[in-house]
Structure 1
Amino acid sequence: MTELVIGAIVLTLEESHILRDIKLRQEELLGAHHLAHRNGELVLEIMGSLLKRNAIPEMRLRYFEDPAFRTGRIKGSHRALFERNKTIGDDIYRHPNFLIHLRYFLSGADLPSNVADTFSQKAKSYSHVGPSDALELGGLARDLSRKFGLLVDTEATAEEFYKLSLDCGIYHRHAAAIRDRVRSMK
């Protein structure tokens, strides 16, 4: 069984230096072609290092690579969506749309730390998360979303709870049930 990682992964000193120069938000690159190009090269460099030393948790890679981990109107993995749009190989990592995946690889789910801690502690309290446990965790995720004002973009919040569920070692279909409970909020 692989070790579960909640939150940020450990970087080497060299990776930390590279990361310092990377713009992790796509909107920071708008209208700055030269900056976007340089950013893409830095992302490629850090991804090469992370992949070489197997630093990205398995579930995070599966989220990107495995079609079963992605739902939506267009079927296929997150990687396949890049490839469908003629972005292949290293160019995937250079693409500004990859930054959301890089952030997940590096830092885990984009949720406030107290929300992530509360949810992951509850998930860990189960020896194995089954279907009924997933519904209960989905209810907790909904409550936390309301309490901490995370409903501005329900779709994005639901996806972040899905990622956190995967990081907690929850089977992807049960994690999807948690995501769907959050997604259904109005």
Structure 2
Amino acid sequence: MTLSTIELTHEEAELLALVDFEGSLHDDRIRSCAASAELMQLLLQRDAIPPSRLGYFTDPAFNGGKMSRLQRYEENGTRGAEIFAHGGFLRYARYFIHGAALDEAVKAHMAKLVGDPTEFSGEDL
């Protein structure tokens, strides 16, 4: 667990343990995508993902202003819960859960300056 990791229920933590965000083997990716999809449903049901992180995926302004990352998936025919099971979605799931891929020392320093690291956004930098 990193400094900016969101709080997880026991069930969510068990699913997260099945997710290998860096895995490249086919079977590992399939398992990771399935667990990630189930985990995302649980996190969304209880509004556990900080709005600033969710906005990175859903707000066109965070993607050059034309289409959001979500809209890109939908434009390519992937919709609803299918998005969460897509191999390319793992990087977003990782961000939703752990926050930006920054060194822990940087996150600790930011926490001293601006507070709760789960609520960091680009405006805080």
Fold match by TM threshold 0.5? yes
SS of aligned partner of 2:101: coil
Paired residues for 1:1-186 under 5 Å: 7-25=4-22, 28-30=23-25, 32=26, 34-71=27-64, 75-122=66-113, 124=114, 167-168=119-120, 171=123
CA distance in 1, matches of 2:121, 2:21: 26
Paired AA for residue 104 in structure 2: S
CA distance in 2, matches of 1:114, 1:82: 34
Higher relative contact order (CA 8 A, sep 6+): 2
SS of aligned partner of 1:101: helix
Could you list the structure 1 runs, at least 4 aligned residues long, displaced by more than 4 angstroms after superposition: none
RMSD of Structure 2 on Structure 1 (CA): 2.4
CA distance in 2, matches of 1:168, 1:48: 23
Name the % identity.
34
CA distance in 2, matches of 1:57, 1:20: 21
What stretches of structure 1 of length at least 5 have no aligned partner? 1-5, 126-163, 179-186
- 1:45 Cα deviation (Å)? 0.7
8 Å Cα contact 2:57-2:92 kept in structure 1 = yes
- 1:71 Cα deviation (Å)? 2.3
CA distance in 2, matches of 1:170, 1:45: 28
8 Å Cα contact 2:52-2:120 kept in structure 1 = no
- 1:84 Cα deviation (Å)? 2.2
> What are the Cα deviations for residues 84-122 of structure 1, in whole angstroms up to 9, with x where unaligned?
222221111111111111111111111011112223434
8 Å Cα contact 2:33-2:90 kept in structure 1 = no
The answer for the alignment partner of 1:150 in structure 2 is none
SS of aligned partner of 1:59: helix
Q: Which is higher, the Rg of structure 1 or of structure 2?
A: 1
